[in-house]
Amino acid sequence: MGDTTATPATDPAVKKGELASDAGRARRPRFLPGSVATHLALGLGALVMVFPFCWQLLTALKSLAEVSRVPPTFLPDDWRWASFDEVFTALPFREMLTNSALNTLGRTAGQLVFCSLAAYAFARMRFRGRDALFGLFLSVLMVPSSLLVLPQYDIIQSLGLLNSAPALFLPGMFSAFGTFLLRQAFLALPRELEEAARIDGAGSFRVFWSVMLPLIRPALAALAVITAMAAWNDLLWPLIVNTDPEAMPISAGLTSLEGQYETNYPVMMAGSLIASLPMLLVYVFLQRHFVQSVAASGVKG
Amino acid sequence: MSVFPATAAAKAADRRAARTGGTGPASRNQRAAYLFIAPLGLGFALFYFWPMIQTFYFSFTEFGPFGGHTWIGGDNYARVVKDVTVWQALGNTLVYCGIGLTALPLALVVASLLNRRGLRAVPLYRALYFVPFVTLPVAVGLVWNWLYNGDFGLLNEVLGWFGVDRHYWVSDPSTAVFAIGAVMVWSTTGYYLIIFMAGIKGIPRDYYEAAELDGAGAVRRFFTITLPLLSPTIFFASVICMIQSLQVFDLIYIMMGEKNPAVGDTQSVVGLFYKWAFTENAQGAAAALAFLLMLLIAALTYLQFRLQRRWVHYG
């Protein structure tokens, strides 16, 4: 790894006022053949990760005649944006996007409310049967979702909710993972705050709502982000409960486009780009919470 | 074993509160706790616990033309075990699982490259590698189908430069499973990368520096420091990865049209379950299949927990 002679005292990074613990990382050797090779390998991998999306965009901008040319052209002959309009007439695209949004909001709001309430009780209150109940709730984590969709479908049907927005988000509002994640966050909070609020005469709900809940905001954000992503991308459940195109979310709707427009790749690529965009934007703006939520679920296995 | 280390005094207070039944402050607290849990509990009861019981019941019944369920005993299980397509789907699912697990070594290599001291642009790389995982699976499936397209696909074109013959990747039964599996790996590597990067962050930097002073190269440091100290994280990731890939459905459903000649050769267990339950009206047999899949997942997870003693080191 080359030069290791620079001491923290003479390291320019430290003089610039960076944290002392980062000094080791910031220490850069002058000659970097290994580093160039690392960047080459990482860059090649990153290209493999991102290139399909560039190709998707380029395809969406070509004409139908151009995409079926051999050999394929790289850049479009003329940049044609019409496919982005055509997807709105080929499918009830607007309704599908709305359904996806409702599904995402419903599940996320539900999990934040239901899971935080239960997580608070499990982490902070004493009551009979707590351990047993918590164990029972966690068992939901271990059951594959496909095992449950048949009876879940029957329940949604008997509630008269097939082909409605609530059908999409109802079961997903309740989550064992969310409860577990938030319980961990509540467990880490100090006792004193809670006791102080109690002495001031606050009831259980008041303590939960105004004192404890604001303190676990990072965990709530992480749960919101991961739930939103799962909801937006979900496919199997929507395919089952909402078979009417106008009631489908975009994830299921695009697969029906594939059936009808098997060969119209520009329109399909335009549709999938529009459908991926909301989550990509959320990701770009809330990247920290994505990483945090994935890391939080993974490290303390 | 109790999850909560409660003191004896607290337990006594709980018992007292439960006995006195609703007068003291402690019991008011108890009632509040149940109210906090009630909404989630009701949701779980309706959408998870009751369905678990129902699926088990369904698996012993036949779905009648007028919507009723008739008890037929173990016939569904006998049908599942005798059905050739089940064994084919099971074989395919295990192949997907095997291919899916290769995301772990890939993510591990990238994570340790990113761990290199003084490397710049780490957050940028992390972000780029994670993008496929965030993207709508339908979009992922569609674009890969297009790249794999036998006539106009870019993959054939690029391979053609190296003298490889044109190939119909997703409609040839001999390559379809691998074509789909490759997309699985492509879209999940970023997820495991983040898990591994978080794990590596927990390894003290001094270990690497000490090893470096002793003259250990990058490869040596990876095998003597990163790999053993990260083994609990790797174990966790492999359990998650296995459970996820045994339930693979989305990508296959998206990438395989109904008319594709390779449908049977790529069908997963969940795919077959979906077909039976929702297009062939064989709900009972589908329930039995789902139940057997759950047992398989449980058995393989148990096996992994048993095997971990041989290779996972807890510091």
ipTM: 0.84
Asked, as a colleague might, if the bond just before A71 is cis with ω within 30 of 0, I would say yes
Contact A297, B200 (CB under 8 A): no
How many helices (H) and strands (E) would you count in chain A?
18, 0
Q: Which B positions 59-98 lie with beta carbon below 8 A of chain A?
A: none
Give me the percent of chain A exceeding a pLDDT of 70.
86
pLDDT at A141: 86
SS (H, E, C) B113-173: HHCCCCCCCHHHHHHHHHHHHHCCHHHHHHHHHHHHCCCCCHHHHHHHHCCCCCCCCCCCH
Which residue did the predictor score with more confidence, A144 or A30? Answer: A144
Q: A143: helix, coil or strand?
A: coil
CA–CA min distance A164, chain B (Å): 17
What percent of chain B clears pLDDT 70, i.e. is strictly above it? 90
CB atoms within 10 A of CB B172: 15
Residue B11 pLDDT: 56
Residue A8 predicted with pLDDT over 80: no
Interface of A with B in 59-98 (CB under 8 A): 59, 67-72
pLDDT over threshold 60, residue A48: yes
Tell me what pLDDT residue A202 has.
84
**B61, B79 in Cβ contact below 8 A?**
no
CA dihedral (B144, B148, B150, B154) positive or negative: positive
CA atoms within 13 A on the CB side of B257: 17
Per-residue buried b or exposed e for A258-275, using 16+ beta carbons within 10 Å of the residue's own CB: beebeebbbbbbbbbbbb
Residue with tokens 């927005």: A165
Whether the per-residue pLDDT at A243 is higher than 60: the answer is yes
What is the pLDDT, as a whole number, of residue B23? 46
pLDDT tens-digit map of B39-91: 999 999 999 999 999 999 999 998 877 677 889 889 999 999 999 999 999 99
Tell me, yes or no, if A129 comes closer than 8 A to chain B by beta carbon: no
pLDDT (0 to 100) of residue A12: 43
Q: What is the pLDDT of residue B8?
A: 57
B247/A145 touch (CB, cutoff 8 Å), yes or no: yes
Verify whether the Cβ–Cβ distance B110 to A42 is below 8 Å.
yes
Q: For residue B169, what are the CA distances in angstroms to A38, A256, A287, B54, B259?
A: 32, 22, 34, 41, 15
Chain B, residues 174-203, CB within 8 A of chain A, namely 186, 189-191, 194-195, 197-199, 202
Q: Helix, strand, or coil here: B313?
A: coil
Q: Give me the total of CB pairs closer than 8 Å, taking one residue from chain A and one from chain B.
A: 304
Give the per-residue pLDDT at A298.
57
| Range with the largest mean pLDDT of A133-147, A161-175, B219-233 | A161-175
The residue-averaged pLDDT of A53-71 equals 90
What φ, ψ does residue A76 adopt, rounded to 5°?
Answer: -65, 145
- Residue B205: pLDDT over 80: yes
CA B169 distance to own-chain centroid? 25
Q: What is the mean pLDDT of residues A116-139?
A: 93
Q: Which of B100, B113, B115, B103 is nearest to B199 (CA)?
A: B115
Residue of A nearest to B156 (CA): A71
State the Cα–Cα distance between residues A110 and A115, nearest whole angstrom: 8
